[in-house]
Structures are given as structure tokens and as C-alpha cells.
Structure 1
């Protein structure tokens, strides 16, 4: 099993960051390079506990589908999604949020296991873990930029009123 840990510091309210992290439409914007689209289950808006989403995208030159389900949600502190169907042998993504002063710390713990036994393990170490980390970093950067721009816009509107 491979695990990716990422912490992203965001200068925005925890609720804003939490909601952006579960926004299907924003996720699709962050994955434009792979053409990722929500095709079944929740296909737009904010995903909730118990809901599923099926994604279709081109990864590594192959069109793939992945269905995940939100198995746990504690607003605005965390949610967990797990793979129901897809190319991984298993996949679990914990999204954890905590306040630190005026910032929100967004933590991703992404655990996955490739199929194909020893070949899958070698592929993980050589390529897939870095591929998935970069995929998450791009997503997190869009969440950060969107949240901080929203916060700055609200601040400016209050000051000009």
C-alpha cells in the first residue's frame, strides 16, 4: 500500500476550504488536463456523506472510470472517500481540515494499492505515487487560490462598504 501525505496552508475560513474540497465542479476544473468528468452519481455541486460520484478521465493514455463514495463526513473538519469501482486494488482518501490562526490547514492522506501484485508495487514506486501526488498538488493549488481569492474579495467588499 502506498500513502501520500500533503499539508496545504490556506489563508481562508475552514468552511470555505471544506466546501471547495468537495465541490465536483471545481474538481473538474482542476483536472482539465485529463479531461476528468463526473458522469454518474453526484455530478455537480457539493458531494455529501453517503453519495457516490463516478469519474471518467484519461490517465496514462487510457480512458478509465473510478467510482468513489463518501463514507464519513464531519463538517467542516473532515470527510473520507473510498473507491467502490476502478483501476486501483483499493483507494482511500482522507480530507482533514483544521484552523490554525487565520489559516486553514488542509491535510490529504491518500492511500492506494495497485493491482497486479509485484508488478503493481514496482509501478507504484517508480511512477504512480509521484503521478498521484502531482495530481493532488494541482487540485490543492486550485482550492487554495479559489479560497484565498474569495476571502480577499469579501474583505475588499467589506472595506468599501
Structure 2
């Protein structure tokens, strides 16, 4: 299993950063390089507790689908999305938001495991952890740009 954290300071109100982080449109626009889109479940608007969404994206030359659910949500401080079906043996992404002066400290805690036993673990260590961290940083940069522009 892999675990990593990413912390991003956003100069925008906590409620705005939280709500934008749950926006399907904000997520898909942040992942445009991988052509990510919502293809089932909640496919537009803001996700809420209990919502399911199936994402489709292209990574490493392969089209993947991942169905996730919002399994915990306490606006504006915290929400969790977890994989219900998809390429990982396990995927849990905690999103934490705390006030930081006039802005918001956004902290992502990601815990995941690749499938396929020892070969998957090797891929996780050599490639996936770095790739997933890069995607979260990309997403956070996009959320920062969107919310700071308002």
C-alpha cells in the first residue's frame, strides 16, 4: 500500500475551496490532459455524501474506469472519496480544509494499493505513487487558479 500527502495553500474562502473540490466540472477540467470525464452516476454539478460517479480517463496509453463514492462529508472541513470498482486494490482519498488567515489550507491524504500482487506493488513503488502525486498536484493547482480568480 502507498500513502502520500499533499498540502496546498489557496487564497480563497474555505467554503468556496471545499465546494469547488466537489465539482465534477472542476475535476474534469483539471484532468483534461488525460481526457478524464464522468460517464455514470453523478456526471455534473457538486458531489455530496453518498454520491457515486464513474470516471473514465486515459493513463499510460490505456483507458481506465474507476467508480468512486463520497463516503464521508462534513462541509466545509472534510470529505472522503473511495473506490467502489476500478483498477486499484484499494483507493481512499481524504480531503481536509482548514482556515489559514484569509485563505484555506487544503490537505490531501491518499492511501492506495495496486492490484496484481508483487508486480503491482513494484509498479506502485516505481511509477504509480509518483504519477498519483503529480495528478493531485495538477488538480490542486487548478482548484487554486479557479477559486483565487473569483
| TM-score of the two chains, using structure 1 as the length reference | 0.92
Name the structure 2 match of 1:133.
133
Please list, as runs of the form range in 1=range in 2, the aligned pairs for 1:79-118 lying within 5 A after superposition. Answer: 79-118=79-118
Name the structure 2 match of 1:124.
124
Structure 1 segments (4+ residues) deviating >4 Å? none
Q: Distance in 1 between matches of 2:145 and 2:64?
A: 28
| TM-score of the two chains, using structure 2 as the length reference | 0.98
Q: Of the two, which has the highest radius of gyration?
A: 1
Segments of structure 1 that go 5 or more residues without pairing to the other structure are 151-161
Q: Distance in 2 between matches of 1:58 and 1:71?
A: 25
The alignment yields a C-alpha RMSD, in angstroms, of 0.6
How many residue pairs match? The answer is 150
Name the structure 2 match of 1:143.
143
Please list, as runs of the form range in 1=range in 2, the aligned pairs for 1:9-158 lying within 5 A after superposition. Answer: 9-150=9-150
Deviations 1:93-142 (A, max 9, x none): 00000001111000000110001111111111111100000011110000
Q: Point out the structure with the larger helix share.
A: 1
Segments of structure 2 that go 5 or more residues without pairing to the other structure are none
Q: Distance in 2 between matches of 1:22 and 1:4?
A: 20
